[in-house]
Amino acid sequence: MKLAVFVSDFRNTVDTLDRLKAEKLGIIFVQNGVYHAAVKEKGKASPVLNAPADFYVLSDDLDTRGLGNADLADKVKIISYSDIVDLIFNEYEKTAWL
Amino acid sequence: MATTKLGFIVQRAGYKSENPKLAITHAISSQSVEIYLNDGDLVTADIAFVGDGVLNCIKNQKAMEKYGLSSTESHIKNSLLLDLNVMVCKEDLARFVLTEKDIVIDAAEFGAEMTAKVVPFSEITKMMEEMKHLLFF
């Protein structure tokens, strides 16, 4: 299964993510999930970024929170709303929202 | 003459919920109750950002440009304009590898003289002990 997971919160998502198995996993950070991509708590990147996945972050939600490219982890790609639509229709079979 | 002290503690990141912005809105609106008070009575409001709440203070928020929403940043600046005491926890900022340069410290463009203060949590604790009412958001 090719699964895209929208991570919309900064807390309480890591355990659930650990349990999700997919042949191809994409993690899309939206809303407060963008903090996983841009904030280093105690100098360490979010544990979510250790998952075997492709990582994306919604640019509008980064900008809304005053975060930008400079804050981003290297493995995360910035995308737009239309990119999300492309991912859903072209790259993944299922989506989940955390 | 009596002073009622209100303490608003913001402990969650913004936008996912309206909670942090509501804290600031309530703090600001607390300054408009004069008509209900006796002469000489006062209501003061202090706002402290702790834990994940310090993420609300990151500057250059573009909520209005992106979603047509007033930003938490603008709410913080409005509270400074009203001379509210705004405190940001030093230890929690450091936890997110943020410094004073990364957060909203003043609202000079609005003519505000008050600035936000980055303080150790011990100082926020002291503030909380002085309050008559504490409200957590």
**Per-residue pLDDT tens digits for A28-66:** 999 999 999 999 999 899 999 999 999 999 999 999 999
Mean pLDDT (chain A, rounded): 92
Domain range for B44 is 3-136
Domain CATH for B26: 3.40.1260.10
Nearest CA in chain A to B65: A64
- 8 Å CB contact of A64 and B63: yes
Nearest CA in chain A to B91: A42
- Residue A12: is its pLDDT beyond 80? no
Task: Look at chain B and report how many structural domains it folds into.
Answer: 1
Nearest CA in chain B to A66: B61
Output the pLDDT for position A21.
Answer: 84
pTM of the model: 0.89
Task: Provide the pLDDT confidence category of residue B34 given band limits of 50, 70 and 90.
Answer: confident
User: Is some CB atom of chain B closer than 8 A to the CB atom of A19?
Assistant: no
Of A35, A42, A61, the CB nearest to B55: A35
CA distance B35 to B101: 39
Selected for mutation to probe chain B from A7, A64, A80 (highest B CB count within 10 Å) is: A64
Chain B hits for A41, Cβ within 8 Å? 95-96
Output the pLDDT for position A68.
Answer: 84
CATH topology of domain A2-97: Hypothetical Protein Ychn; Chain: A, (3.40.1260)
User: Is some CB atom of chain A closer than 8 A to the CB atom of B60?
Assistant: yes
Torsion of CA A11, A13, A18, A22, to 10 degrees: -140
* Cβ-based neighbours of A6, under 8 Å, separated by 6 or more: A28, A30, A33, A95, A96, A97, A98
ipTM above 0.85, yes or no: no
Q: Residues B49-56: what's their mean pLDDT?
A: 96
- 8 Å CB contact of A65 and B58: yes
Token pair for B77: 């600046």
In degrees rounded to 5, what are phi and psi of residue A44?
-110, 145
